[in-house]
Amino acid sequence: MLQVNKPTSEINRDFAETDGSPSQTLTSYLDIVRRQFPTMVAIVSACVILALLYLFTAEPLFTSTASMVIDTRKVQLFQQQSVLGDVAIDAAAVETQVEILKAENISLSVIRDLHLVEDPEFTGTGGGLLGSVVSFVGSLFSESNAVSEYEQVRKALRRFEKNRDVNRIKGTYVMEVGFTSKDPGKAAKIANAIVDAYIVDQLEAKYQSTRRASVWLQDRIKELRTQASAAQKAVVDFKTTNNIVDTGGRLMNEQQLAEVNSQLILARAATAEARARLDRMNDIQKHDIPDANVADALKNETIVKLRAQYVDMASKESIWSIKYGRDHLAAVNLRSQMAEIKKNIRDELRRIQESYKSDYDIAGTREESIKSSLANIVSESQLTNQAQVQLRELESNAQSYQAMYDNFLQRYMESVQQQSFPITEARVISVATMPLVKSYPKSLLVLSAALLGGLMLSFGVATAREMTDKVFRTTKQVEDALGVSCIAILPVLSSSPGSRSGWMMPSGRGAGSNSQQPDLLRYVVGNPLSRFSEAVRSVKVAADLNQILRENRVLATTSTLPNEGKSTLSSNLAQLVAHGGARVVLVDGDLRNPSLSRALVPDAKAGLVDVIAQKVKLEDALVVDPVTQLSILPAGTTSKLLHTNEILASKAMRELVSLLRTQFDYVVMDMPPMAPVVDVRVTSSFVDSYIFVLEWGKTKIDVVRHNLRTAPEIQDKLLGVVLNKADTKALARYESYHGRYYYQKYYARYGYVE
């Protein structure tokens, strides 16, 4: 509070370092809740009260639910396969059944069977207080004509469908049918009736489909019987005419052709295998010594042994050549033996090659022989190809007609069985029972929703109020917006110390209205241990500490707009300093509206204007308070002044202030507000520091910014800002360290309670 003002850029930089962090964001939200807590409590309470009123006035409803399953298992005793060809039950099929349950014919069937048209719940007014009000209002604007039976049925159907609920349990074939009613017994009865109506509808639909299919199948079976007989007779006549004999369902030349063709395939495979072995042996002949894989593949013990001997000798020859030299007799002998082994291996491979070549020649000769036999059989079968084609066509037609006839005959027999024993895939697995607990309204859900909605709404309203609240309420707002320190927060005062009914401000509208104003202007004298007095002391301390940087003997109080409490602060500050033993003069510099003069010295004949005009001496114009020894210089005669700013900017005014500096320790000047007049701007030449008074919760931030931006000479000499008329209870929600608790606890031993 008492620190020297920081430059605006430095202050903004300090706050920018903490802005944007998660903890800072959470703290800002908590601050909003703390500041707007009464509003939020009121909104949440209103939502809860509305929810309670709704719960007390809403008519209770009961829901009963029946469950049934689409059973994919068939009853094998009576039915093995559906005549119409059943489609596999999948998710889409179950959803289709759900829509069938919601169909109007099912609903109308239940309405008709249970005589729901005669039930007032379905054809009367809506239930509850709200329904009665809506029905009454509707009757005022509608003609009282007799309602037809069709209209009653449609009205009952609308109510019925509104209270009915059909759902499929996800991932299963189970469907739940629920119904909501005022009577729990009626809800269970209607839910079971819906399930029964659905099963009856499915049985009736299957019976009608099966009956229509049976009639159509009879005519089709007669036609197919005739066609199948004609096709069989045509096959027999064709075989007799062309002397065709079957052997196991195939012609003789076809059987021979198939056998020879199979032999040819095997012969070609054998020839290819022999050729591959021969080609492989030719590749092996290109190498002196075959590697281990080739030797093992040939499965020749002689080559395997010779290769092993060759490898062993090659190893020995390499060792001896390194040890004794390549010309050593033993190394030469080993190389001679290795050459002999190479020759033996080549001879053995040559023998195997001749054997593979012989096998290849034999396989080729056998293949050519089979090809010749196949060509002879093909030439013979060409003579009967045309007859075979015609025979196959006739046999295919005969088989098709016979298969169709057998299939339709089987379906016809099944349809006859289904007419005698109709069944459906749906069956009830849980009947609806009378519920014991109401399903609507759900008290816990309604209260929870009201509480949650109230919290969300209240937080939204609180946030909106915070965003639109562009006034000064905290010291942080002062520092962020203006770049100056808030040196004091003055609590709101009433006309008397014990009263908190409101704020009284000198208005200058007659002596009768100012009878209680001296109490406010001398509040620090009558209440030295009050929080207001302590805040005024902090202003004095700030001025004294600021003298380290510049002289602070001439202090001027101003504000943005009238009635913000600058005159009250000026008077109390001067009274406080004078009561402490210092020589202080209080100057009423508000020449446009000298309310301070009217309140403190209403009978003064001369004042500041008269001293500047040299009509009276300074000593004659001063009025001394007998209690605090405060010297007061009233405004004087100001009723006919037009250019007050010229008076304050005059050389005589500067000389007067210089004179006051020599005679007093402190000069406290009550200046006019900045927004209405420009008088305060011309005093920067002789004023050491300005104390800027803002009304807590009233003064607009943008207005103060504009006034200070247009008066840089005032802003440069600002001692600090004083937030006046603060509501201490509300202030504790904005800045807890400014609450009343700490001050009262400290001064409790004095018996003082503010």
Average pLDDT, whole number, for the chain?
78
Q: What are phi and psi of 355, to 5 degrees?
A: -65, -45
Query: Is a pLDDT exceeding 80 seen at residue 536?
Result: yes
**How many other C-beta atoms lie within 10 A of the C-beta of residue 291?**
11
Please check the confidence at residue 78 and state whether its pLDDT lies above 90.
no
Query: Would you tell me how many other CB atoms lie within 10 Å of the CB of residue 56?
Result: 8
**Is 394:231 a contact under the CB 8 Å cutoff?**
yes
Residues in the chain: 754
76, 173 contact by CB (below 8 A): no
Instruction: Please give the structure tokens belonging to residue 716.
Output: 């440069």
| Section 137-159 average pLDDT | 75
d(CA 157, CA 116) in angstroms, rounded, equals: 9
How far is C-alpha 515 from the geometric centre of its chain's CA atoms? 63
Least confident residue range of 83-97, 541-555, 718-732: 83-97
- Which parts of 116-273 are beta strand (E)? 164-168, 174-181, 246-247, 250-251
Residues 112-148: b if buried by 16+ CB within 10 A, e if exposed = eebebeebebbbeeebbeeeeeeeeeeeeeeeeeeee
Residue 21: pLDDT over 90: no
Task: Give the contacts of 223 (CB within 8 A, at least 6 positions apart).
Answer: none
What's the pLDDT at 422? 60
pLDDT above 50 for 729: yes
pLDDT digits (tens, 9 = 90+) for 626-681: 888 999 999 887 766 778 888 888 899 999 999 999 999 999 999 999 888 888 88
Q: Is the pLDDT of residue 250 over 80?
A: no
Integer Cα distance of 563 and 570 in angstroms:
13
Tokens 């904005």, located at residue: 734
pLDDT at 291: 59
Give 85-106 pLDDT, tens digit per residue: 444 567 788 888 889 888 989 9
| 286 compared with 151, residue with greater pLDDT | 151
Taking residues 517-544, what's their average pLDDT? 85
pLDDT score for 269: 85
Confidence of residue 687 (pLDDT cuts 50, 70, 90): very high
> What pLDDT sits at residue 3?
43
Per-residue confidence (pLDDT) for residue 664, from 0 to 100: 93
Q: What is the mean pLDDT of residues 381-400?
A: 72
Number of Cα atoms under 13 Å in the Cβ half of residue 16: 6
Query: Which CATH homologous superfamily contains domain 480-497+517-750?
Result: P-loop containing nucleotide triphosphate hydrolases (3.40.50.300)
State the pLDDT confidence band at 265, using cuts at 50, 70 and 90.
Answer: confident
Q: Is the pLDDT score of 511 beyond 50?
A: no
Tokens standing for residue 69: 């399953």
Looking at residue 108, its amino acid is L
Residues contacting 240, CB < 8 A, separation 6+: none
- Report the pLDDT averaged over residues 675-702: 89
- Among 242-256, 435-449, 465-479, top mean pLDDT goes to 435-449
Rounded CA separation 355/333 (Å): 34
pLDDT at residue 163 tops 80: yes
Report whether pLDDT(751) > 50.
no
Of 25-39, 243-257, 304-318, 638-652, the least confident? 243-257
Mean pLDDT is lowest, of 236-250, 418-432, 490-504, 691-705, for: 490-504
DSSP state of 382: G
Q: What pLDDT is attached to residue 360?
A: 80
Mean pLDDT of 533-556: 87
Cα gap 507→500, rounded to integer Å: 19
Alpha-helical (H) ranges within 593-650 are: 595-600, 608-612, 618-621, 644-648
Position 337 confidence tier, pLDDT thresholds 50, 70, 90: confident
**Strand partners of residue 722:** 488, 693
Phi, psi for 480 (deg, rounded to 5): -70, -45
What's the average model confidence in pLDDT over 416-426? Answer: 66
> What is the C-alpha to C-alpha distance for residues 620 and 614, in angstroms, rounded to an integer?
11
pLDDT at res. 448: 92
Check whether 430 has a pLDDT greater than 60. yes
CA dihedral 447, 448, 452, 454 (to 10 degrees): 10
Closest C-alpha to 710, from 678, 686, 687: 678
pLDDT, position 11: 38
Higher-pLDDT residue of 501, 102: 102
Q: Which two tokens stand for residue 485?
A: 């320190």
Please give the structure tokens belonging to residue 572: 């109390």
Beta strands in 573-634 (DSSP E): 584-588, 623-624, 631-633
573, 536 Cβ separation under 8 angstroms: yes
pLDDT at position 85: 46
Q: Above pLDDT 70, what percent of the chain?
A: 79
C-alpha span between 742 and 534 (Å, rounded) = 13
| pLDDT (mean) for 138-164 | 79
Taking a C-beta distance cutoff of 8 angstroms, is the pair 94, 168 a contact?
A: yes
Instruction: Dump pLDDT digits (tens) for 170-219.
Output: 888 899 999 999 899 999 999 999 999 998 888 888 777 777 777 777 77
Q: What integer pLDDT is reported at residue 141 of this predicted model?
A: 59
Contact between 435 and 188 (Cβ < 8 Å): yes
Task: Look up residue 61 and give its DSSP letter.
Answer: B
| Nearest CA among 50, 73, 733 for reference residue 426 | 73
Report domain extents, the chain. Answer: 8-19+27-58+441-468, 250-398, 480-497+517-750
From first CA to last CA, the distance across the chain in angstroms is: 22
Q: Give the CA-trace dihedral at 140, 146, 149, 151, to 10 degrees.
A: -30
**Is 383 exposed, middle or buried (CB count within 10 Å of its CB: 0-12, 13-18, 19+)?**
exposed
Q: Which structure tokens are listed for 546?
A: 């600021």
Residues 641 and 633 sit within 8 Å (Cβ to Cβ): no
For residue 252, CA distances in Å to 242, 244, 382 come to 14, 9, 13
Could you give the CA distance from residue 101 to residue 421 in angstroms, rounded to a whole number? 23
* 3-state SS string for 666-714: EEEEECCCCCCCCHHHHHCCCCCEEEEEEECCCCEHHHHHHHHHCCHHH
CATH number belonging to the domain at 250-398, selected among 1.10.287, 3.40.50, 1.10.10, 1.10.150: 1.10.287
CA distance 270 to 255: 23
CA distance 458 to 160: 39
Contact between residue 180 and residue 187 where contact means Cβ atoms under 8 Å apart: yes
Distances (CA, A) of 642 to 120, 594, 630, 664: 85, 14, 30, 30
Whether pLDDT at 45 is above 90:
yes
Q: Give pairs for 731-735: CB < 8 Å, separation 24+.
A: 731/473, 731/489, 731/696, 733/34, 733/35, 733/36, 733/37, 734/31, 734/34, 734/35, 734/473, 734/474, 735/474, 735/475, 735/476
C-alpha 628/C-alpha 736 separation (Å) is 35
Residue 572: which of 498, 519, 623 has the closest Cα? 519
Contacts of 89 (CB under 8 A, 6+ apart): 70, 72, 173, 425
Quickly state the pLDDT bin for 54 (edges 50, 70, 90): confident
Q: Which H or E run includes 429?
A: strand 426-430
Instruction: State residue 561 phi and psi, 5-degree precision.
Output: -125, 165
C-alpha angle 283/287/290, rounded to 5°?
90
Comparing CA positions, the residue from 559, 541, 743, 555 lying closest to residue 1 is 541
| Residue keyed to tokens 């064709």 | 238
Residue 569 has pLDDT above 90, yes or no: yes
Backbone angles phi, psi at 66, to 5 degrees: -115, 145
Task: Report pLDDT for 247.
Answer: 57
Which residues share a beta bridge with 623? 632
Query: What integer pLDDT is reported at residue 633 of this predicted model?
Result: 92
